Structure 1
Amino acid sequence: MSVFSCRAAMPEDYPLICTFPQNAQELFYMYPAGKFPLTPEQLTAAVKERWKPTVVLADGEVAGYANLYGLVERTECYLGNVIVAAAYRSQGAASELIGQMITQARDELNVPKLKLVCHHTNLQALLFYKKLGFRPFDLRTMKGLEGETVVGLLMEMELSRSE
């Protein structure tokens, strides 16, 4: 079993992170505006508009990535660009990573609410986020890879202070 930890993402991590989406659909789930294959340049551009880019490490190796966006000071922010390398899925890497993002949103960005958008076709992620305590509160429609309608379920979690 891997030992997980988290740290701030660094530009030298981006080439490896770009290999995590295995196909265009996985990239769409992670970063709907991205073009497959993901490149370090795309990731660099996305990070400029985000907060707290973070990697999860498995025994010291980068195993996943996420960041925060849409910050409304003292109100809310969104979890974004979540991806875990295929070799580390269903092993606890995502739970460790999301836990770190929750902590950063609450303790460093001082927001009481963390939100996310998860596509209706990503059933595994929907169930995972529900298990972590996120609850649906709205729907958003968007165009998918083939121009089809995709529903984004907006989910949120109240962040309580552990003081």
Structure 2
Amino acid sequence: MNTNLSFRPVRDDDLPAICTFAHTPEELYFLAPRARFPLDVDQLATSIAQRSDSSVVCRGDQVLAFANIYKREQGACYVGNVAVAPQARRQGVARFLMQQMARLASEHHAASEMRVSCFNSNAAGLLLYSRLGYTPFALEERLDQRQQPIVLIHLRLPLAD
């Protein structure tokens, strides 16, 4: 199904498309909690500059998904800014993205574990990570964009040697 998908480093001309992935303030909060809605190229470029391995999944010339690594420590790579274009959701694109990010973390950073964080109200994200084998290991209380309590669930996936 995903043989026509490709994975590559993000380019500047990809940023406008990525900015369209979050259609609501809540979706943007899941993608980048500190960002202001709507996401714009300047905010995205600033985030990318503070992270490593920013990458996209494409079908042909169309950018369908985005993620990066925001921290590396003790053999673990932390993947963030995970986003999939609305028209590409529920088609295996996120699975492909996360598999490629795991491969990148293993091959380029000798990571033995991938970590990702997901808010409790992001059911689609939690279901995806569960299907991929991620398991929760910590909870963190936060305040959402309306200053209401929300839980950030930290998940991990051991990587094969």
TM range (shorter): over 0.9
- Residue aligned with 1:53, SS: strand
Q: Is the 8 A contact 1:113 1:158 kept in 2?
A: yes
Partner of 2:17: 16
Q: Is the 8 A contact 1:117 1:152 kept in 2?
A: yes
- Residue aligned with 2:70, SS: strand
CA RMSD of superposed structures (Å): 1.2
Partner of 1:36: 37
Map 1:7-156; keep pairs closer than 5 Å.
Answer: 7-72=8-73, 75-156=75-156
| 1:81-116 Cα deviation digits (max 9, x unpaired) | 011010000011111111110001111111111111
CA distance in 2, matches of 1:152, 1:132: 18
CA distance in 2, matches of 1:150, 1:77: 24
Count how many residue pairs are aligned between Structure 1 and Structure 2.
160
Q: Is the 8 A contact 1:84 1:93 kept in 2?
A: yes
| 1:11-35 Cα deviation digits (max 9, x unpaired) | 1100110011011000000111111
Give the unaligned 5+ runs of structure 1.
Answer: none
CA distance in 2, matches of 1:51, 1:124: 25
Deviation at 1:59, TM superposition (A): 3.4
Deviation at 1:60, TM superposition (A): 3.2
- Residue aligned with 2:146, SS: coil
Q: TM-score under structure 1 normalisation?
A: 0.94
| 1:35-79 Cα deviation digits (max 9, x unpaired) | 10001111111111111101001233111100011112x521211
Q: Is the 8 A contact 1:77 1:113 kept in 2?
A: yes
Deviating above 4 A after TM superposition, structure 1's stretches of 4 or more consecutive aligned residues are: none
Report the AA paired with residue 124 of structure 2. Q
Q: Is the 8 A contact 1:113 1:157 kept in 2?
A: yes
Q: TM-score under structure 2 normalisation?
A: 0.95
Give the unaligned 5+ runs of structure 2.
Answer: none
